[in-house]
Structure 1
Amino acid sequence: MNRPRPHRDPDPAAPPAGRGGDGHRATRTGAAVALLLAAACYASWLLAPVLNPGLRPVRSYLSELAARDQPYHLVFQLGDVTTGLCATVAGLLLARVAREVPRPAWWGLLVFGVATAVDGGYTSMDCAPSIDARCARLEELGELSWRHQAHTVTSSVAVAGALLSAVAVLAVLRGPARRRAGLVVAVVLAVGTVGTLVATLHPEWGLGLWQRVQLAGLSGWLLLTAAVARRGPGPERPR
């Protein structure tokens, strides 16, 4: 006699069967790949010791790597533009299919993507004020280009969008492994963001180091969001 199979609740992240389900899986996979590429490109600053060792990691903004008078600035600009485009594509895709995650997660991802692409492609800095006294003086007087002056705005908008998305993603994580990873990302991102804000007023307090911690947290958020894009917020399936 056949025994009845136990009833299992459907996985909220699992797409429906059939062509629509296959399409959703492909869309989620594409978004996850885009986010992985975004995380890799957003970490282009790790190449700084090789490509531009002149910038001091303790006091220099990471954005100065992409300043138009710096060596290999196109490498870092391309990294930002690629990050922004990938994040934008992922946000648009996930807004359609990943409905188990609050919409602000994808709105924030879109804001981050667009602002980061603009930041790398149009509003990169003219020069690096942390190592160039003349640049610092012109910046103080407001005599640099509009793109240099707009850089602060686009960078701030990008970080604000990322924080909105990160909070929404972290709030829905389920399963012990996902939650542990989320806790690590949240701590690194919070410490880096608070430290950067404080050091903005007191650059001698290690502004560059705090900003590098913040960007490490943002890369972690992109990686975690890639996992959520592919498999949903959990719980993890038994192996």
Structure 2
Amino acid sequence: MTEPARHIRGYSLLIALAIALAGLCYSSWLLEFVLPIHTDPVNTFLSELDAEGKPYRAVFGTADKIVGLLLIPAALGALLVFPRRGLTTIGWVALLCFGASTIADTLLPLHDCDPGDSSCGGDSGLFPQLHQPHAMTSTLAVTSIAVAAFAFSAAAYRYHRWKILREFGVVVLLIGTAATLWMMIADNLPGSYALGIAQRIQVTTMSLWLLALAAAVLTESRAS
């Protein structure tokens, strides 16, 4: 193995490790079942775990910041180290945006919406919180990782690489897409449609996809 190839392999391992750790940190919401938090997973959003005034806001907020602080340099490193191709470039840039949006999520936390609270921008079905600035950062985060997932999935087929993204990654992506559609449609319908469950499925698929991407990068480095 030549010296440049050895360096690229080393960088690839670091990038894969950062992405994997980010995926694990993004599943920190599972601590709601361990910590003494009285939540209703069926009908509450995960953003409420680190909302203003919540007792464990520091725990969940720190985990999200770590996600961003890991993914931003990982995406930048990938853009510098790996060969530039159209779809993968889109994927890495989108992943960088996801990391930045996740940090912004913690800097613009959710706050309670009392009846008549004008700062929430009015009612939005079951969740008036959706009118808060936090909704914008959350939407950017979800959109960014969706773009990244679709771009890398397309790249895996087009460039005949990353078998794990062509198989496991695509399954996770489809489940996440179904959960997102569930949330988008149900929130505009009268009644309760377990949007909390839908979001938890969505976020779980995001974490699993990050782990799949990390495995793909690691496999690619070993094959090179």
Normalising by structure 2, we get a TM-score of: 0.84
CA contact (8 A) 1:115 1:154 kept: yes
Q: Is structure 2 residue 200 aligned with structure 1 residue 226?
A: no
Which of 131, 146, 151 pairs up with 1:163? 146
Q: CA, structure 1 residues 21+189, in 2 after alignment: closer, same or farther (shift >3 Å)?
A: same
Query: How far did residue 126 of structure 1 move?
Result: 2.2
SS of 1:172's equivalent in the other structure is helix
Q: CA, structure 1 residues 197+140, in 2 after alignment: closer, same or farther (shift >3 Å)?
A: farther
CA contact (8 A) 1:87 1:109 kept: yes
Normalising by structure 1, we get a TM-score of: 0.79
Partner of 2:172: 185
Q: Is structure 2 residue 64 aligned with structure 1 residue 71?
A: no
Partner of 2:33: 49
SS of 1:164's equivalent in the other structure is helix
1:209-220 superposed matches below 5 A: 209-220=197-208
CA contact (8 A) 1:115 1:157 kept: yes
Q: Is structure 2 residue 110 aligned with structure 1 residue 125?
A: yes
CA contact (8 A) 2:19 2:74 kept: yes
Residue segments in structure 2 that go unaligned for 5+ positions in a row: 123-130
Q: Give aligned-pair identity as a percent.
A: 32
Which of 39, 47, 56 pairs up with 2:23? 39
Letter in 1 for 2:169: G
SS of 1:118's equivalent in the other structure is helix
Query: How far did residue 141 of structure 1 move?
Result: 5.1
Which of 92, 99, 102 pairs up with 2:88? 102
Aligned length: 208
**Structure 1 Cα separation of the partners of residues 71 and 194 of structure 2:** 29
Which has more radius of gyration? Answer: 1
Residue segments in structure 1 that go unaligned for 5+ positions in a row: 1-16
CA contact (8 A) 2:180 2:198 kept: yes
Query: How far did residue 137 of structure 1 move?
Result: 4.1
